[in-house]
Chain A
Amino acid sequence: RSLQLEERKPSQQIAQRRVRKRRRLRKVRRRVRKSREEEERKQHVQRRRLSSSSDDNSEDESMSEGEMARLKEEVEEKKKLIATLRNKPWRMKRRLKCLKEAQAFVEKFEGALGKGKGRRLYAFKVMMTKKIIKFNRDFENFKTACIPWESRIKEVESHFGSSVASYFIFLRWMYGLNLVLFGFVFGLVVIPEVLMGMPYGSLARKTVPREEQDSAMDFSVLFEFGGYCKYSIMFYGYYNNQRSIGLLQFRLPLSYLLVGVGIFGYSLMVVIRTMARNANEGGDGAEEGTFTFCWKLFTSWDYLIGNPETADNKFASTTTSFKESIVDEQENLKDENIHLRRFLRILANLLILCCLGGSGYLIYYVVKRSQGFAKKDRNELTWLQKNEVEIVMSLLGLVCPPLFEVIAELEDYHPRIALKWQLARIFALFLGNLYTFLFALFDEVNSKLENEKEIKNATIWALKEYYTNYTLYNNVTENIPPPNISPADVIRGPCWETEVGIEFVKLTVSDIQVTYLTILIGDFLRAVIVRFLNYCWCWDLEAGFPSYAEFDISGNVLGLIFNQGMIWMGAFYAPGLVGINVLRLLSSMYYQCWAVMACNVPHERVFKASRSNNFYMGLLLLVLFLSLMPVIYSIMTLPPSFDCGPFSGKDKMYDVIMETIEKDLPPFMADIFSYASNPGLIIPAVLLMVLAIYYLNAVSKAYQNANLDLKRKMQMQRDEEKNRRNNKDSTNQVMKDLEDLMPNKSLIPPPSAEETEIPADQLRKSPKVTGKPGAAATGKGVHVQKDVSLAAANPRAPVTRPPGPRPPGPLPGNARGPPPGQGMGRGRGGPPPRR
């Protein structure tokens, strides 16, 4: 009966505000009257229905008779209330609220009371709600079932913790991204060329040259992506520079360029959007930190599990999540020599900087040396000299990560933070790798460009020669037929784009091989050896030296990220690379899942990582930028090959766009573009963007601060409540009792006072204690003493830090807290300052 509130007649206030309120009141009253009329009309209709049809026994009998009667009564009452609401001496606001509530109630339950059609309608409604609930449930299940590999990842997560699972989630995300890229490239470039472009063998660029034809089908050649592979749609060189192809007049060169740039645009957009979404997700749940263990303990079991395998998984995941929480806890509780820790951290960073600097210099030196070697004849060089760069790079990649890990031990970070540092450091190391690769590639491209110039001149020369000869022999100066050479015999340039594409594809494929072999040997073989040789070995292999491998999160994540960088860079020169990558990610999902479950053991310190890891995304973004630059540079500055690829015959690749603007778009669009590309417009636009970024950044900072403040306030409130309870329960009650006992309020407790107040305290403190017979008998005095002293030790100032666990020794208050006596009593006399 929420409605039976006390009748307050605020006549005084009404009198004061009457003049001001009159107009408003009138308006509201009109509204009330209207709704009342409506209600009456409804009731009338209801009554009519009742008279017309009353026999409607539904099978859905979900309420008992008593309840029905009760409900009926209730509804009647509400109706009466609606009718008489006008006479109630309440404020308008309250009246409106009551009216709304009552109306909603009547509407809801009238149908349930078996009044003619309303009854049927109600039954129908109930049925529909049930159906909708069921449908929603099924739909949710369906949606979950549609997420690929969710159960696999869950399984890994339950055994290895969220940190390993975060890698697989990242892998899955990457697969999704690559699938979209694959769709772009194949839908807009490869398939149009296959369907509508000229067939194989029709052009020089689409034909294997005569001298290579014998070996073009050899496996060793194909494996190096030479032969038929090189002159296939996988690579840049195969595409024709015909402006439009097929019936649809598909502008293939334009599409090629736009897809090449669009891949970057789309990836940037997706990465940044994901990052933003992840950043948003982290905000909720301010209470999260306070009851972690309670919730885990009391609520982690899923009571619906009926399958032994699922139960095993659940056991594992509960254990893992507890372990994660323990690691977090330990980190919070760690109190050690902060100066030593800082010193060690600085030292570790210095050491690692030295390592990085040293390896950087080493790479630089080796690359310089190899440039020197490259000028010499290749036959003079030894194998070591030829492969020096690769050897140094792989040695660095082999030695440095474990070294970093060892040095990171000094820092003693929480494993989650340690993983980030490790990732960042190996990332810096891998950048060196990337740098050498690009350096070598650009050297090659430059030499190819020079070579190409010569060949181009030679071709032009040959063509001129042919024409002069033709004129000489046939005495015809016009309508000379083009030279009748088979496309296989045409003189052709080196086509540097295809070469670059081949380099990237080779690198990707060898990366796949190395990764898979490492897993096979380093994880699987090791696990097999450890498992089966353990029966006949002199020491315990499983617990001792080789043991099973742990899953290398940082290495795998970085491998994935750098691989993606290769794809981004290479996709422009080798459209087929995206397809290879999709296959790789797909297979690696299954392969690595299997390898993890079969051969690895969980980390010693399992730690919790968020399911959506923004750190990985940040690294990915960085790599995306790094790989964006060389491609854009080559598009904007390098001249495309003259005889292969969709841009052949143009000075620069982006000329395709110029051409389209000039020929396909109306002239005013060309004007617009020329204005838009004016520096006078671009610079202000950039300026505006910078200002907007600055402003938004400031705003988000302010919000962040506000958020932090609120969080702190909540924590403070909680702590205060804890303290207050504590004080109220023990000291304040004690003191009050004391005051009651002593008429003169001297507050000097006689020695026996403590004995006398104990029962009262016990009684009053909380009813829950009284139900406990054992506790009262044992150590009464001790109990009270403890409470009192604890309360005394409690600082009145708000606590901003969550309390650490209690040390096992004597309670902190006992040692230095004042004895329960006069001084303290005075101090505690007043009520605690409360907001």
Chain B
Amino acid sequence: MGSTNSTLLKIPNVEVLMQETGFSPAHIIRLHDRFKALDKEGRGHLCPHDFGAIKELAMNPIGDRIIGAFFSPGKETVDFHTFVKILAHFRPVDKDRPKEPNSPEPINSRSNKLKFAFQLYDQDKDGKISRDELLQVLRAMLGMQVTDEQLESIADRTIQEADLDRDDTISFEEFRKACKHKRFTMFRFCIRPGERKLMLTLCHWSSELQDQHEL
């Protein structure tokens, strides 16, 4: 208990942070450990290249976007508070916890998670996923295997499926509608007690993983 408290005391504004994110003290400590492990040079903040050490992200076709999501525009670093706040998106949705009627929506709510995922695709932050943005993602995912023509037809078809107001882009509302029917196990965030390892496990909807990496 003593070590826990001392670690907690080192972090400023722990109470506020826990209030905002819903992490327990144990979580915060683990996250702090992980943060320190990622921050190899001990500067107290992380740079984009620090995230490259996470294998799962290096493999991911849109891994750089996920890393980018940690950095608010114009900033090159991320401190512990922001780090935890971003990771709070990855907490499982609390099903049983009663909600305060007037409290703000928790970070890990369904729609916030979806918003996070949406922003990964919406690169120019205009609230819509345009055809070009889809094409970028598709190029990253499919690479050289598919002709440009086919890529374009995939993008068109995707937009056409999701697009409800026929403006040839996918707005957040439409994105949510399209992903509504899939099982939503997005943003599993896992700190396994044994290995003290943080994994970013993002929006995977497959049912095989439904109870995997539950905290």
A, B in one complex: yes
Listed in ascending order, the chain A residues whose CB lies under 8 Å from chain B are 1, 61-64, 66-67, 70-71, 74, 108-109, 133, 136-137, 140, 287, 290-295, 297-308, 311, 315-316, 318-319, 322-323, 325-326, 329, 721-722, 725-726, 729, 766, 768, 771-775, 783, 786-787, 790, 803, 805-806
Answer whether A62 and B24 are a contact pair too, CB < 8 Å, given A302-B206, A304-B201: yes
- Give the CA-CA distance A149 to B188 in the complex, in Å: 29
B38 within 8 A of A: no
B182 within 8 A of A: yes
Contact string against A for B residues 123-161, beta-carbon threshold 8 Å, 1 for contact and 0 otherwise = 000111000001001100111011000100110111011
The closest CB in chain B to the CB of A803 belongs to: B160
- Contact sample, A vs B, 7 pairs, CB 8 Å cutoff: A66-B19, A298-B117, A298-B203, A299-B203, A303-B202, A726-B166, A774-B126
B157 touches A293 (CB 8 A): yes
- Give the CA-CA distance A67 to B103 in the complex, in Å: 12
B166 touches A304 (CB 8 A): no
Answer whether A108 and B181 are a contact pair too, CB < 8 Å, given A301-B61, A305-B56: no
B176 to chain A, nearest CB (A): 11
Q: B142 to chain A: which residues have CB within 8 Å?
A: 315, 318-319, 322
- Give the CA-CA distance A729 to B173 in the complex, in Å: 14
**How many residues on B have C-beta within 8 angstroms of the other chain's C-beta atoms?**
65
Q: A325 to chain B: which residues have CB within 8 Å?
A: 154
Closest 3 CB pairs of A and B: A306-B55, A293-B158, A303-B202
- Give the CA-CA distance A300 to B204 in the complex, in Å: 8
- Give the CA-CA distance A326 to B147 in the complex, in Å: 12
Q: B25 to chain A: which residues have CB within 8 Å?
A: 61, 64
Q: B24 to chain A: which residues have CB within 8 Å?
A: 61-64
Answer whether A299 and B205 are a contact pair too, CB < 8 Å, given A305-B59, A722-B164: yes
B126 touches A772 (CB 8 A): yes
B165 to chain A, nearest CB (A): 5
B72 within 8 A of A: no
A291 touches B178 (CB 8 A): yes
- Give the CA-CA distance A664 to B164 in the complex, in Å: 76
Q: Tell me which of A297, A315, A726, A773 contacts B138 (CB under 8 A).
A: A297
A293 touches B161 (CB 8 A): yes
Q: B141 to chain A: which residues have CB within 8 Å?
A: 297, 300-301, 315, 318
A331 to chain B, nearest CB (A): 13
B204 touches A302 (CB 8 A): yes
The interface-forming segment of B39-47, B73-81, B93-101 is: B93-101
B205 touches A772 (CB 8 A): no
B13 to chain A, nearest CB (A): 14
B30 to chain A, nearest CB (A): 13
Answer whether A790 and B166 are a contact pair too, CB < 8 Å, given A294-B158, A303-B201, A305-B56: yes
Q: B203 to chain A: which residues have CB within 8 Å?
A: 298-299, 303
B36 to chain A, nearest CB (A): 21
- Give the CA-CA distance A292 to B166 in the complex, in Å: 18
The closest CB in chain B to the CB of A290 belongs to: B161
B11 within 8 A of A: no
A726 touches B100 (CB 8 A): no
Q: A64 to chain B: which residues have CB within 8 Å?
A: 18-19, 22, 24-25
Q: B158 to chain A: which residues have CB within 8 Å?
A: 293-294, 297
Q: Interface centre among B101, B141, B165, B208, by most A CB within 10 Å? A: B165
Give B15-49 interface residues, CB cut-off 8 Å to A.
18-19, 22, 24-26
Q: A74 to chain B: which residues have CB within 8 Å?
A: 98
B209 within 8 A of A: yes
